[in-house]
Amino acid sequence: MPVATAMLEDQDSAASRMAAPSRFGDKAFEWLTLGMALAVILLVFLIGWQLARGSTLAIQKFGFHFLTTSTWDPVAEQFGALPFIYGTVVSSLIALLIAVPLSIGTAVYLTELAPLWIRQPIVSLVEMLAAIPSVILGLWGIFVMIPWLRDYLFPLLKKLFGWTPFFTGPIYGTSMLAGGMIIAVMILPIITSVSREILRSVPKLQREAAYALGATRWEVTRIAVLSYARKGLFGAGILGLGRALGETMAVTMVIGNTPQIAVSLFKPGYTLASVIANEFTEATSDIYLQALFEIGLVLFGVTIVVNLLAQLLLKTMTTKTATRAVQ
Amino acid sequence: MINLIMAAPDPIVLETDDRTPESALDSDEVRLTFEVHNLSIWYGDKRAIDSVTLNVPSNAVTSIIGPSGCGKSTFLRSLNRMHELVPGTRVDGSVLLLGENLYAPDVDPAIVRRRVGMVFQKSNPFPTMTIGENVTIGLKLNGVRDRKFLNERLEKSLRMAALWDEVKDDLHKAGTSLSGGQQQRLCIARALAVEPEVILMDEPCSALDPIATAKIEELIHELKKNYTIVIVTHNMQQAGRVSDYTAFFYLGRLIEFGPTSKIFSNPSDKQTEDYITGRFG
């Protein structure tokens, strides 16, 4: 007699008492999670659609010129978003330039070098930075950072790099550079903690491989840790960039809110998010309100485009290394 | 025991197969690569190695066996100070490499590891590097820039690791594109490229299939002509096949050490016999 039948006939066996496996749970689980995933995508489309719907008039009236002109005159009802796009992109890039090296440096210290007892306190402090409300950081920016920048850092930069077009002109304090710096403070925690997780996930065997060749700690970090993790670290930067583009309150308080395109980083600027926050309550005419809606749509678009570009860059970066020649 | 090592090292002087293994350890003829004296190692409060004294002969394969947690891996790593990567370790006693104490205060562990190479349980080529770069990275870390020399060492190391014929046309491909067994031989080539005096192997075949294992074992047999090899293995048959000497560790102590043929056929200690015959472990 085959074993299976023998077991089924035995009234006391566990197999005879078990119910046939039900597939209902599996199916329900699958549909439920699928629904959740779709809901997220749906939400993104709905936001985009609402923004587009809210700005139909403005889109019809200004067309493509909205993106390419620099006049922002609510009285004459002339609206161009270029200075805001410029301000958002430039302030975010400044923020990344400052925050990425600082964050990765912190993460490397925390995972590779720091004595064990000091790691957790530093991690907690960095996370506390993320808990500071944006408006408080903005206040700190106005009353502490700006005066310091105006009296010390900016004059120094002007002295050292005044020969480049980026650090010329009068120093007010409130400026594109100040905006970028405050965003840097805001995105530091997220980039640091994501980078730290990524560095921690580098296999121990990779580090050991480098140590066994007689590598010093810096060499181990370079050849075994950072190069192994570089894709993930790039991703951490992108996450920070996503935050930077939409950052509103603190930037608004220190960037100067002047819709202009200036090469010098000492000059005030304006960002897409800031103009919405500042002018939403004043937008009395339909076309003004619609123009602000379209600014929102542009911010939405800029965020998506920047993310796509970053992913494209990541893809070319990883395929290039695989085909690189020996030595 | 007379220390012949102080003379200029010339690794191929000794024909390992010509002497009788039984007398080898007591003979004045045997050159020693490591002289471990009264070595104890602590991880925090836990003592992983307890007063081990052991001499590792040159140009021979010494295998370290014992049940899990007996300290054999820690002992292997103490031979190139890799165990220090775990925070909170403490060492007592001495390890002489060709007469020099590895634990002397002025010794840089990075220099020790250049002289004592290591191969790990799982192959670990650097995934962002090509096959060629994986082999030459150790030399580059040590400041070698001469391309001709690098290429020579690349070919020589891959030949010694019995991998050259399989990869010579694919040197620009990623190291991780190779099969598991090839990757492990690539890691051996990487260790050989910096011309170490010793190669430590920490269960080098535990993740490989029998054919890849056979290739590595054959390679070990070839390599001992030029190198001293210390290998940790869980596989008793492997210890019997590849090694000239065997050390049996249990609970952090060295229970028995001698020629492999004697340990496996006529062990002096009851615990060794029980472990080898499969009664525990």
Flag whether A243 is in a domain: yes
Chain A nearest CA to B2, separation (Å): 30
Query: pLDDT tens digit string along B66-114?
Result: 998 888 999 999 999 999 888 889 999 999 999 899 999 899 999 999 9
Q: B4-13 long-range contacts, Cβ below 8 Å, gap at least 24?
A: B4/B28, B4/B31, B4/B32, B5/B31, B5/B32, B5/B33, B5/B58, B5/B98, B5/B99, B6/B99, B9/B98, B9/B197, B11/B58, B11/B59, B11/B197, B11/B226, B11/B227, B11/B228, B12/B59, B12/B225, B12/B226
Chain A nearest CA to B97, separation (Å): 16
Q: Minimal CA–CA distance to B132: which of B120, B111, B147, B119?
A: B147
Residue A146 has pLDDT above 60, yes or no: yes
Average pLDDT, chain B: 86
- Closest partner residue to B120 (CB to CB) among A205, A219, A323 is A205
Longest Cα separation, chain B:
56
Q: How far apart are CA B212 and CA B187, in angstroms?
A: 14
Flag whether A33 is in a domain: no
Q: How far apart are CA A232 and CA A191, in angstroms?
A: 11
- Closest partner residue to B130 (CB to CB) among A205, A211, A324 is A324
Task: Identify residue B190 by its one-letter amino acid code.
Answer: R
> At A54, is the pLDDT very low, low, confident or very high (cuts 50, 70, 90)?
very high
Flag whether A99 is in a domain: yes
User: So what's the pLDDT on residue A314?
Assistant: 79
Q: Are B88 and B44 a contacting pair, CB within 8 Å?
A: yes
Chain A nearest CA to B26, separation (Å): 32
Domain ranges (residues) in chain B: 25-123+196-276
Residue A224 belongs to domain with CATH number = 1.10.3720.10
Q: How far apart are CA A221 and CA A110, in angstroms?
A: 12
Of B15 and B42, the structure prediction assigns the larger pLDDT to B42
CB contact under 8 A, A326 and B190: no
User: So what's the pLDDT on residue A240?
Assistant: 93
Q: Is B38 helix (H, G, I), strand (E, B) or coil?
A: strand
Flag whether A56 is in a domain: no
Q: How far apart are CA A176 and CA B129, in angstroms?
A: 40
Rg value, chain B, Cα: 19
B32-43 and B89-97 strand pairing:
antiparallel
> At A325, is the pLDDT very low, low, confident or very high (cuts 50, 70, 90)?
very low
Q: How far apart are CA A77 and CA A288, in angstroms?
A: 7
Residue A230 has pLDDT above 70, yes or no: yes
Instruction: Average the pLDDT over each of A139-143, B19-23, B211-215 and give the range with the smallest value.
Output: B19-23
CB contact under 8 A, B85 and A211: yes
User: So what's the pLDDT on residue B63?
Assistant: 95
Q: What are the start-end ranges of the E strands in B112-207?
A: 116-119, 198-202
- Smallest CA–CA distance from A223 into chain B, residue: B126
Residue B14 has pLDDT above 70, yes or no: no
Read off the DSSP letter of residue A153.
I
CB contact under 8 A, B128 and A219: no
Q: How far apart are CA A211 and CA A197, in angstroms?
A: 22
- Closest partner residue to A208 (CB to CB) among B87, B120, B141 is B120
Residues of B in contact with A326 (CB under 8 A): 130-133, 154, 171-172
Q: At CB < 8 Å, which residues of chain A contact B?
A: 116, 203, 205-216, 219, 223-224, 227-228, 230, 321-327
Rg value, chain A, Cα: 27
Q: How far apart are CA B56 and CA B32, in angstroms?
A: 6
Q: Are A90 and A244 a contacting pair, CB within 8 Å?
A: no
* Total of domains in chain A: 1
Measured CA angle at A214 (ends A210, A220), to 5 deg: 35
Expressed as residue numbers, the domain containing A312 is 84-322
Chain A nearest CA to B266, separation (Å): 36
Is B25-123+196-276 CATH 3.30.70.250? Answer: no
Of A98 and B142, the structure prediction assigns the larger pLDDT to A98
CB contact under 8 A, B113 and A212: yes
CB contact under 8 A, B172 and A216: no
Q: Are A277 and A249 a contacting pair, CB within 8 Å?
A: yes
Task: Identify residue A72 by its one-letter amino acid code.
Answer: W
CB contact under 8 A, B187 and A209: yes
Contact residues for B31 (Cβ-Cβ < 8 A; gap 6+)? B4, B5, B13, B14, B57, B58, B59
Q: At CB < 8 Å, which residues of chain B contact A?
A: 80, 82, 85, 87, 110-114, 117-118, 120-122, 124-133, 136-138, 141-142, 147, 150-151, 154, 171-174, 187, 190-191, 194
The DSSP string of B182-194 is: HHHHHHHHHHHHT
Sheet holding B100-101, edge to edge: B46-57, B32-43, B89-97, B100-101
CB contact under 8 A, A211 and B114: no
Q: How far apart are CA B102 and CA B80, in angstroms?
A: 8
Residues of A in contact with B189 (CB under 8 A): none
Residue B278 has pLDDT above 90, yes or no: no
Q: Are A262 and A51 a contacting pair, CB within 8 Å?
A: no
User: So what's the pLDDT on residue B281?
Assistant: 59
Q: How far apart are CA A23 and CA A39, in angstroms?
A: 24
CB contact under 8 A, B133 and A326: yes
> At B183, is the pLDDT very low, low, confident or very high (cuts 50, 70, 90)?
very high
Query: pLDDT tens digit string along B94-105?
Result: 999 998 999 998
Q: How far apart are CA B45 and CA B50, in angstroms?
A: 13
- Closest partner residue to B132 (CB to CB) among A212, A219, A326 is A326
Flag whether A60 is in a domain: no
CB contact under 8 A, B113 and A214: yes
CB contact under 8 A, B110 and A208: no
Q: What share of chain B is helix, strand, coil (3-state, %, to 5)?
A: 40, 25, 35
Flag whether A17 is in a domain: no
Percent of chain A with pLDDT over 90: 71
Flag whether A105 is in a domain: yes
User: So what's the pLDDT on residue B30?
Assistant: 78
- Closest partner residue to B141 (CB to CB) among A206, A207, A213 is A213
Read off the DSSP letter of residue A28.
H
Count other C-beta atoms under 10 Å from residue A10's C-beta: 11
- Closest partner residue to B128 (CB to CB) among A210, A216, A321 is A321
Residues of A in contact with B122 (CB under 8 A): 205
